[in-house]
Amino acid sequence: MTGADSGLLYRRIADSVMSTTNNLVRRDVLLETPDEVLHVEAIELAPAITDEDGDEVDGSTEPQAAPHKHPMVKIQPATNRIAHRELRIRVWSEGRPDGHHAGKTVTWSMAPLFVAPVEEGQQEGDPDFRGDWARAAAGHRDRFEAPADFTAEGFTRSSQQQATTVVDDTGHTAIRINLAPIAFNAARISAQLEGEDSAVELIDLEVPGIIVIDPGHGGDRNETSSTANNATSHTSRILEKELTLDFGLRTRTALRTLRVDDNTNLRIHMTRDEDVNPPGASRAHVGRDNGADILLSIHFNGFNGTARGTETLVRRSSDNVNHGEDVALAERVNEAVYQTVLAHDPGALDRGVKDQQLAVLSDTSLGNSANYHPLRAALVEIEFIDNLAVDELLNTRDNYEQVRQDIADAIADALIEDLRRNP
């Protein structure tokens, strides 16, 4: 062993320092011993984060100090059933050669950060992990794995909770970190250097909440399980497919605003953002292939010109492995839409949550099975647009844009609530 003798008391003198290359506060823990100042520095994350369009997010591989929560990624989520990220660190001491700590063991551990929301007036519980590593594919059921994007010497599994690696000749080592792929599951990562009396907390990681918005219908041709259009507005003649797209885009904007304002790790995918008509199964696959937590399909009803009200549909329980979770989602969305319509129009009607057979909500297409069902799905029928009062409310009266936006904002809030509260 080189460097400081074990048993010496280390004194933490700083938990983070400003990066010399940009203005980010870097995770760099300094420890002072009687004869040296030791740095345990988070250097780099992998893989880089891309946005929903596939473009790389600036600075996403640069570790930052808490409270920043670095997003984790889901690679081939339906196959791997895990969220992960890799972290590379450097261990060094001022005035000593790079290899000063080479050969020392680093022990990796993590602590949960997610706190389940409680009703007003209730006491918050302790942080806990969401989900269970045991549902991941074989090879990803431990909290730590040997990294693949970075190299690390001497990876050794100690237990499901802990692993060790060895500092190399350049002073570096690295680790792959796994968490169950459930929205807002989060962990604080710690490393303990051999000979040091305590672990140092390095960075926080969080699984993003992933939402798919599916504007119903579209285009000019009927496809399997998706017609080009269904309902048409009473007097304005605005088509359902136009309204679903407008409400879908507004909901995406509302979610993006929450992402920035609340510093929330959120990813929002659309099954369409233009006038096209993907088949029902393709829409569900957007949820499955992106590792989504929620898929919400947006529609409008048409019937006899007088019926009205808000209803939300889920796939019936006989062929829906997570019917209860879907109903909870549907109730949140239905209540949010109904209350918002009611705030603008006393004629609002709550038609409730109903079971129905719908291709876009099929377990097979969503990637849900009896022992693994990460994706909740529902279809909201916001109102009956062939009703004159609804046509005026949503399409023609002076403040119709505000009414539309208020409904979209309410849907966005309900989706976030579902992400936080789904067990």
Candidates 70, 104, 140, 299: give the one binding Zn ion (CB under 5 A).
299
Shortest separation between residue 226's beta carbon and Zn ion, angstroms? 9
Shortest separation between residue 381's beta carbon and Zn ion, angstroms? 7
Cβ closest to Zn ion, residue 105 vs residue 230: 230
Contacts of 20 (CB under 8 A, 6+ apart): none
Q: Under the criterion CB under 5 A, does residue 283 sit at the interface with Zn ion?
A: no
**Which residue's CB comes closest to Zn ion?**
299
Shortest separation between residue 311's beta carbon and Zn ion, angstroms? 12
Cα-Cα-Cα-Cα dihedral sign, residues 73, 76, 77, 82 = negative
Select from 104-112, 200-208, 227-235, 289-297 the region that touches Zn ion (CB under 5 A): 227-235
Contacts of 339 (CB under 8 A, 6+ apart): 410
Candidates 19, 80, 230, 405: give the one binding Zn ion (CB under 5 A).
230
Cβ closest to Zn ion, residue 34 vs residue 305: 305
Q: Under the criterion CB under 5 A, does residue 216 sit at the interface with Zn ion?
A: yes
Provide the edge-to-edge strand list for the sheet that holds 83-93. 11-18, 25-32, 37-46, 83-93, 172-179, 144-145
Q: Under the criterion CB under 5 A, does residue 227 sit at the interface with Zn ion?
A: no
Provide the token pair at 263. 């510093």
Shortest separation between residue 242's beta carbon and Zn ion, angstroms? 12
Shortest separation between residue 332's beta carbon and Zn ion, angstroms? 21
Cβ closest to Zn ion, residue 208 vs residue 216: 216
Applying CB under 5 A, the site for Zn ion has a residue count of: 3
Cβ closest to Zn ion, residue 182 vs residue 337: 337
Shortest separation between residue 299's beta carbon and Zn ion, angstroms? 3
Shortest separation between residue 126's beta carbon and Zn ion, angstroms? 44
Provide the token pair at 381. 């029928």
Select from 41-49, 59-67, 230-238, 316-324 the region that touches Zn ion (CB under 5 A): 230-238
Select from 96-104, 201-209, 222-230, 400-408 the region that touches Zn ion (CB under 5 A): 222-230
For 290-342, the DSSP string reads TT-SEEEEEEEE-SSSS---EEEEEE-GGG-TTHHHHHHHHHHHHHHHHHHHH
67 prior amide bond cis, ω within 30: yes
**Contact residues for Zn ion, defined by CB under 5 A:** 216, 230, 299
